[in-house]
Amino acid sequence: MGKYSKQTGSVIIIVLWTAVLLTVLVTAMAGKVRLSAQTAAHNRDASQEWAQLMATVNFAEMELMLERMPTPIDQQVEESEEGEILTPAYRFDGEALELNYAAPENMVVRIYDHAGKINLNRIPRRNMQLLIEKLLGGEDADPEEVQDLLAAWTDWTDLNDLEGLNGAEKDYYLELEQAYVPRNNPELDTVEEILHVRGFAELFEGINLDAAFTIYGNGRTVNLNVATREAMRLLPGLDDELIETIIAYREREDISNRAEIAEIVPLENLVELTPWMGTQTSNIYSIFVYPKQEFIGSALTGQSSTIQEIDEDTVAPEDKVRQAYMEIVEIRSGNALPRIYKVDPYGMLPETAKARVEQYGIEL
């Protein structure tokens, strides 16, 4: 009887252990299946979102092509509060756009005209000096340091290996730990190339170069109607308050001439700013597209948000997205596909906030 009890106990223990093992195996398999199902769902969602994003990019390109077509006779023109006709091309200033070809509701489109950036391939030497002086403290800038940086820039963009006074040429760059040779050509290949010039990496530290500069087109001036904050911060004569004032002004009406700028920029500042100002637009644009995000307080949830109606008196929350799919394109005509110069799936967005009128107490 005792032997039978021992055998029964052993069987029960084996059965229990078998049940435990089976439970563990089933749980592990269920977890693996659940993980696989979640992965498949995420891949499906990512594929659908990517398809929507690329479709939106195409719609944005079509929007720019439409800009090159003759305006339909029956098209209703947009007017300012004062009844002045607004220039359609100035809407490409980074504001979130509603496209003529409706994009998916969960996608945000921002387009930046490169006429609102400083062209490194066309900047006059005098303007580069003024830019360097501003970054080094304006009137407090060390003249010797300014001239050394300007000499290094001149040597980088000239057509020879002859080193200027306090400049930097081939011999200097070949002695660096990671050696390279200077461009020796006024045409930079990328905006980031400026960081290779002696001293310029420190000079432009922390600046979103793609937002402030361009290397495309022939523009020598900056159109304040479409200028980015990053570009305007580098322009002599402008401080943060004046920049926000300009943005607040252009949100209401176009800046058509220097006389209108003179109404909001003091004369002393305007004298410094005038050599940089222009009114032309370009045919080079940066297109940014990204899924609309939902914010709770200051936290980004990463989830697509639902479209909510915003009252006219309600200020839309600042978009905290900093990286997005980006293309730099040239629009040649209304019946030719755009020429794509650069694609960056993680492009750094320029600042997208509305004019900070309350922060600076701005009244127009």
pLDDT, tens digit, 9 for 90 and up, residues 104-147:
999 999 999 999 999 999 999 999 999 999 999 988 999 999 99
Question: What is the dotted CATH code of the domain comprising 122-186?
Answer: 1.10.40.60
Higher pLDDT, 92 or 297: 92
E strand intervals along the chain: 93-96, 107-113, 118-119, 213-214, 222-223, 277-278, 284-291, 293-296, 299-304, 323-330, 339-348
Ranges of each domain in the chain: 1-119+209-364, 122-186
% of the chain at pLDDT higher than 70: 91
Write down the pLDDT at residue 312.
44
Report pTM. Answer: 0.85
- pLDDT tens figures, 44-58: 878 899 999 999 999
Position 307 scores a pLDDT of 38
The pLDDT of residue 5 is 61
pLDDT, residue 121, reads: 97
Distance CA 268, CA 221 (A): 19
* Residue with the larger pLDDT of the pair 33 and 68: 68
Which pLDDT score, from 0 to 100, does residue 311 have?
Answer: 47
The Cα–Cα gap between 18 and 14 comes to 6
- Beta bridge partner(s), residue 119: 214
Asked whether the predicted pLDDT for residue 194 surpasses 50, the reply is yes
Query: Which pLDDT score is estimated for 27?
Result: 84
Mean pLDDT along residues 274-288: 95
Sign of CA dihedral 248, 279, 321, 201: negative
Separation in Å, CA 246 to CA 35, 203, 204, 227, 240: 52, 26, 24, 10, 10
pLDDT recorded at residue 23: 85
Q: State the average pLDDT over residues 222-234.
A: 97
112 three-class SS: strand
Using an 8 Å Cβ cutoff, are 286 and 324 in contact?
no
Task: Assess whether pLDDT exceeds 70 at residue 91.
Answer: yes
pLDDT at 42: 76
Count of helix runs (H) and strand runs (E) in the chain: 11, 11
